[in-house]
């Protein structure tokens, strides 16, 4: 519905952009054999988000739930891609990818996500939140031309946005 105003479109756009970084991260890990899980980095990402959330007046537990969800779904995307590349090596990335290049972007997008949670707080608390999220997910899926893997990931990672 092109004329409907999508309230949460900025937020689902940020979720999609953060999930898109999983491709670059997976490519870097494919090349170097680095494990998908990096608990120390996760703790850093979560601590920074909680701190930013506090400043914005957000409940730490809520920020933690949303960011953990982003991390978990991102890891699922990484594992899916790595499994595909292992199974069909011709599909594996050839362009160089570096964790050191993509992590600052992940940090920035996580900050944008926390800002978005604060900005859209009223909508995210309202009874119609899940419907708003569904509309925004549909719009972002179309505008970002998401493939099925990333469309499913976006829908999954957006559920926790409503509180």
Q: Binding to ligand PRE by residue 17, rule CB under 6 A?
A: no
Query: Do 115 and 53 form a contact (C-beta atoms < 8 A)?
Result: no
**Which residue from 103, 113, 160, 162 is in contact with ligand PRE, where contact means CB under 6 A?**
103
Q: Binding to ligand PRE by residue 154, rule CB under 6 A?
A: no
- 3 state SS of 47: helix
Q: CB within 8 A of 144, min separation 6: which ones?
A: 13, 16, 20, 150
**Which residue from 106, 146, 151, 161 is in contact with ligand PRE, where contact means CB under 6 A?**
106
Query: Do 17 and 72 form a contact (C-beta atoms < 8 A)?
Result: no
The distance from CA 42 to its chain's CA centroid, rounded to whole angstroms, is: 13
Q: CB within 8 A of 115, min separation 6: which ones?
A: 52, 56
Structure tokens at 23: 């491709």
Binding string, residues 133-152; x marks residues near ligand PRE by CB under 6 A = --------------------
Query: Which part of the chain contacts ligand PRE (CB under 6 A), choosing from 34-42, 56-64, 123-131, 140-148?
Result: 34-42
The distance from CA 129 to its chain's CA centroid, rounded to whole angstroms, is: 18
**Which residue from 17, 38, 69, 121 is in contact with ligand PRE, where contact means CB under 6 A?**
38
**Which residue from 71, 133, 136, 157 is in contact with ligand PRE, where contact means CB under 6 A?**
71
Structure tokens at 44: 């850093």
Q: Binding to ligand PRE by residue 41, rule CB under 6 A?
A: yes
Residue 116 C-beta: closest distance to ligand PRE, Å: 16
Q: What does the binding site for ligand PRE look like in residue numbers (CB under 6 A)?
A: 25, 37-38, 41-42, 45, 71, 74-75, 99, 103, 106
């Amino acid at each position: 519905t092109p004329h409907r105003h999508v309230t949460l479109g900025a937020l689902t756009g940020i979720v999609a952009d953060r999930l898109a970084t999983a491709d670059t991260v997976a490519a870097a890990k494919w090349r170097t054999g680095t494990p998908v899980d990096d608990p120390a980095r996760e703790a850093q990402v979560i601590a920074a988000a909680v701190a930013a959330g506090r400043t914005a007046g957000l409940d730490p537990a809520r920020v933690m739930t949303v960011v953990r969800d982003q991390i978990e779904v991102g890891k699922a995307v990484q594992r899916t891609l790595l499994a595909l590349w292992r199974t069909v090596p011709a599909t594996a990335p050839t362009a160089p990818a570096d964790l050191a290049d993509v992590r600052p972007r992940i940090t920035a997008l996580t900050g944008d996500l926390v800002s978005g949670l604060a900005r859209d707080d009223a909508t995210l608390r309202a009874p119609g939140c899940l419907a708003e999220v569904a509309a925004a997910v549909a719009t972002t899926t179309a505008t970002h031309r998401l493939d099925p893997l990333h469309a499913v990931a976006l829908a999954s990672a957006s559920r926790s946005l409503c509180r």
